[in-house]
């Protein structure tokens, strides 16, 4: 487990990847048009290293975030993904002080509304 470390005059501060992932998960699930987080799958060799719905990679002084989601049927995919990227970046940077260099969003599926038979 890698941590984000900040040195302060009063001592040190460490923030785990799991905390950053939790912040990102909440931000994603609060976004209009998102049905759920998705357990990612390798698709023709793409994203083979992703094992979780939210993956945090710490590189130098930046966090790279990869997120797999299922969207609601009818959602404007580019708009929802841009909203996810902006919200996750803002929330992580505000709450942790850690700079986010990129938020990659993978749309794993579309969730259709339950169709109930009419009378």
- Assigned domain for 118 exists: no
Domain containing 7: what range?
A: 3-111
- Assigned domain for 84 exists: yes
Total domains, the chain: 1
CATH code for the domain of 72: 3.30.70.1350
Q: Dump strand ranges (E) for the chain.
A: 3-8, 11-16, 34-37, 54-59, 62-72, 99-111
- Assigned domain for 116 exists: no
**pLDDT tens per residue, the chain (119 residues)?**
556 666 557 888 889 999 999 999 999 999 999 999 997 655 555 555 556 899 999 988 899 999 999 999 999 999 999 999 999 999 999 999 999 999 999 999 999 988 544 55
- Assigned domain for 62 exists: yes
Please list, in sequence order, all residues whose beta carbon lies within 8 angstroms of the beta carbon of residue 97, skipping any fewer than 6 positions away. 6
Query: Taking the CA of residue 44 as centre, how many other CA atoms within 13 Å lie in the half-sphere pointing to its CB?
Result: 0
């Amino acid at each position: 487990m890698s941590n984000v470390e900040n040195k302060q005059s009063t001592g040190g501060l460490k923030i785990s990847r799991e905390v950053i992932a939790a912040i990102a998960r909440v931000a994603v699930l609060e976004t209009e048009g998102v049905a759920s987080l998705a357990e990612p799958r390798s698709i023709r060799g793409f994203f083979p290293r992703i094992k979780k719905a939210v993956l945090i990679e710490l590189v130098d002084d930046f966090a790279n975030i990869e997120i797999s989601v299922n969207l609601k049927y009818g959602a404007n995919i580019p708009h929802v993904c841009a909203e996810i990227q902006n919200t996750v970046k803002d929330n992580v940077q505000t709450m942790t002080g850690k700079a986010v260099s990129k938020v990659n969003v993978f749309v794993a599926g579309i969730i259709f509304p339950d169709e109930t038979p009419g009378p």
